[in-house]
């Protein structure tokens, strides 16, 4: 494992040091440097001489890790009475606490009765309109979407199926959460699904603990289930050429898939595109769109610029001209003038085109409609099993560029938060930023674009 991980947020480089005792990276520390070389020099200085913490005191990396390890184990390990006594004795010997320290007192019954009920608390916490957590984040200028709150609130039904209506937040311990995890596992849910269900509660617990409404956060030290995410396949170069040689059921879908292939844009970013986002040779990725939140910042909250090939620019302009609404607010228009099309149009069009290229001539000439439909359904299921979907274009785009330009340029083009995530998307690869990306994109996709003879629908 690398001793530290260096990455960039905005224009500043941050570092995470590897704590081998805890087997995880430390929290991120700003180097205050905008140059990678200057940041590396700063990190080496910290490793040799230590650094000033928030209190102004010089601390070595080793001392920082030792303290974090002590704090972690005290917070997470279940101690018996004898171990707690020895810990208190050690703190008294160091003069950190006195023998007159206030002992832990059992919470009186009347106080327990005043504690909030768990399930109504979780429901309100993820109610976008009522949640004090949401109001607090928005007040501090942090982003949180209605869709995210909706997804979290939909996971509360698993909590409702396990915990009784009388359960209070003070009744929840790390052990009860572990039992809940195992109960979810018994339902044969995927590890990732279980972890997401747990976050519907662990995030609220941390929030109320930070506010002092809970003595301790019961989720501290709770281990997540490990499990590999389902790996997505990517389309071959031959399949891509075939896809854009057949007739698509919707011109907006064809252009949207073509755009994602050549820019790595997300579906929500594509439908949010407006005429003002198109320049001579690049696209300004300023928004994403969801029908619950409307126009909002792209994922990770960061706008970016991507090179726009001349052929794709022409496709976008032609599509804009087909927009039947007077103000032409969105390039990928929908039935309402103030809303774009549904993102499902993109995935449905890809699925239809994929089935078309996979059906044999015999399949297409089949006169029995039932057999023909069965063959189409088999092909659709095979596509799903491969993991091919609209999001696969991001993998295809990243993988296609990864062995032609350095990963930092790929990261900036795709909008990934870290190079590590960009590398994850690029694991399919066989072997000034905008210019490098533009040259690579032109080289990679030229053949597909020049052979794209799809007539407008």
Give one DSSP letter per residue of 106-166, joined into a string: PPPHHHHHHSPBHHHHHHHHT-TTT-HHHHHHHHTT----HHHHHHHHHTHHHHHTTS-TT
Output the domain CATH number for residue 278.
1.10.443.10
Say whether both 85 and 119 belong to one domain.
no
Q: How far apart are the first and last CA of the chain?
A: 53
- 68-84 confidence digits (pLDDT tens): 777 777 766 777 777 77
* Same domain for 203 and 60: no
Is residue 350 domain-shared with residue 412, that is, in the same domain? yes
Percent of the chain beyond pLDDT 90? 33
Which domain CATH number covers 158?
Answer: 1.10.150
> Does residue 317 belong to any structural domain of this protein?
yes
Task: Answer whether residue 321 is part of any domain.
Answer: yes
Which whole-number Å values give the CA distances from 177 to 107, 134, 155, 221, 224, in the listed order?
21, 24, 15, 11, 11
Q: Are residues 383 and 296 in the same domain?
A: yes
User: What pLDDT is attached to residue 113?
Assistant: 42
* Better-scored residue on pLDDT, 456 or 341: 341
Return the ∠ at Cα 266 (arms to 457 and 402), rounded to 5°. Answer: 110
> Looking at the structure, do residues 397 and 275 belong to the same domain, yes or no?
yes
What does the mean pLDDT of the chain come to? 80
* 170 and 290 both lie in a single domain: no
- For residues 108 and 39, the model is more confident at 39
Q: What is the mean pLDDT of residues 307-320?
A: 92
Same domain as 174, residue 250: no
Asked whether the predicted pLDDT for residue 104 surpasses 70, the reply is no
The pLDDT confidence band at residue 231, using thresholds 50, 70 and 90, is low
Considering the domain architecture, whether residues 410 and 268 belong to the same structural domain is answered as yes
Residue in this structure with the two tokens 């170069």, named with its chain if needed? 237
56 within a domain of the structure (yes/no): yes
| Residues 142 and 148 sit within 8 Å (Cβ to Cβ) | no
* Residues contacting 198, CB < 8 A, separation 6+: 177, 180, 181, 219, 222, 224
Number of structural domains the chain divides into: 3
What pLDDT, on a 0 to 100 scale, did the predictor assign at position 435?
63
Tens digits of residue pLDDT in 6-21: 877 777 888 888 887 7
Domain membership of residue 105 (yes or no) is no
Same domain, 179 and 307: no
pLDDT tops 80 at residue 272 = yes
User: Same domain for 340 and 396?
Assistant: yes
Residue 152 lies in a domain: yes
Residue 103 forms part of a structural domain: no
Reported confidence tier of residue 401, pLDDT bands at 50, 70, 90: confident
Residue 129 and residue 265 in one domain: no
Q: Flag the least confident range among 86-90, 218-222, 292-296.
A: 86-90
Cα(32)–Cα(42) distance, integer angstroms: 9
Final residue of a domain: which of 35, 59, 93? Answer: 93
Residue 225 lies in a domain: no
Beta strands in 10-69 (DSSP E): 12-19, 24-25, 29-30, 51-52, 58-59
Give the model's pLDDT for residue 313: 93
End position of a domain, from candidates 192, 210, 228: 210
Whether 251 and 387 map to the same domain: the answer is yes
Q: What is the pLDDT of residues 440-453, one digit of tens each?
A: 666 667 666 665 54
How many angstroms separate the Cα of 250 from the Cα of each of 107, 333, 341?
A: 64, 12, 11
pLDDT for the residue 195: 92
Residue 318 lies in domain:
237-450
- Contact (CB, 8 A) for 309 and 263: no
- Per-residue pLDDT band for 99 (boundaries 50, 70, 90) equals low
**Would you say residue 98 lies in a domain?**
no
Q: Which one of 50-54, 146-150, 152-156 scores highest in mean pLDDT?
A: 152-156
């Amino acid at each position: 494992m690398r001793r530290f991980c260096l990455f960039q947020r905005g224009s500043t480089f941050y570092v995470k040091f590897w704590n081998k005792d805890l087997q995880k990276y430390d929290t991120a520390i700003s180097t205050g440097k905008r140059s990678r070389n200057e940041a590396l020099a700063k990190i080496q200085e910290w490793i040799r001489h230590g650094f000033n913490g928030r209190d102004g005191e010089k601390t070595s990396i080793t001392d920082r890790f030792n303290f974090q390890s002590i704090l972690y184990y005290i917070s997470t390990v279940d101690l018996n009475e004898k171990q707690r006594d020895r810990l208190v004795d050690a703190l008294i010997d160091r003069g950190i606490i006195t023998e007159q320290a206030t002992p832990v007192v059992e919470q009186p019954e009347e106080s327990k009765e005043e504690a909030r009920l768990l399930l109504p608390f979780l429901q309100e916490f993820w109610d976008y309109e009522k949640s004090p957590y949401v109001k607090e984040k928005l007040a501090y200028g942090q982003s949180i979407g209605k869709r995210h709150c909706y997804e979290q609130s939909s996971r509360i039904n698993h909590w409702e199926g396990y915990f009784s209506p009388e359960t209070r937040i003070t009744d929840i311990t790390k052990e009860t959460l572990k039992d809940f995890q195992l109960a979810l596992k018994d339902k044969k849910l995927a590890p990732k699904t279980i972890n997401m269900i747990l976050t519907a509660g662990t995030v609220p617990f941390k929030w109320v603990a930070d506010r002092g409404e809970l003595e301790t956060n019961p989720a501290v030290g709770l281990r997540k289930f490990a499990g590999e995410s389902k790996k997505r396949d990517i389309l071959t170069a031959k399949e891509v050429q075939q896809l854009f040689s057949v007739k698509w059921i919707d011109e907006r879908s064809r252009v949207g898939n073509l755009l994602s292939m050549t820019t790595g844009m997300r579906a929500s970013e594509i439908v949010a595109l407006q005429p003002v986002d198109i320049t001579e040779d690049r696209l300004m990725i300023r928004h994403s769109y969801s029908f619950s939140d409307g126009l909002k910042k792209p994922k990770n909250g960061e706008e970016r610029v991507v090179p726009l090939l001349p052929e794709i620019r022409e496709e976008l302009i032609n599509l804009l001209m087909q927009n039947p609404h007077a103000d032409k607010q969105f390039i990928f228009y929908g039935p309402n003038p103030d809303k774009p099309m549904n993102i499902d149009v993109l995935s449905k069009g890809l699925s239809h085109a994929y089935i078309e290229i996979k059906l044999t001539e015999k399949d297409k000439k089949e006169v029995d409609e039932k057999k023909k439909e069965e063959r189409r359904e088999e092909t659709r299921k095979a596509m799903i099993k491969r993991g091919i979907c609209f999001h696969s274009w991001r993998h295809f785009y990243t993988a296609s560029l990864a062995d032609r330009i350095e990963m930092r340029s790929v990261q900036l083009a795709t909008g990934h938060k870290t190079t590590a995530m960009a590398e994850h998307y690029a694991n399919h690869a066989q072997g000034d930023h905008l210019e490098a990306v533009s040259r690579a994109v032109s080289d990679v996709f030229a053949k597909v674009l020049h052979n794209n003879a799809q007539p407008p629908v």
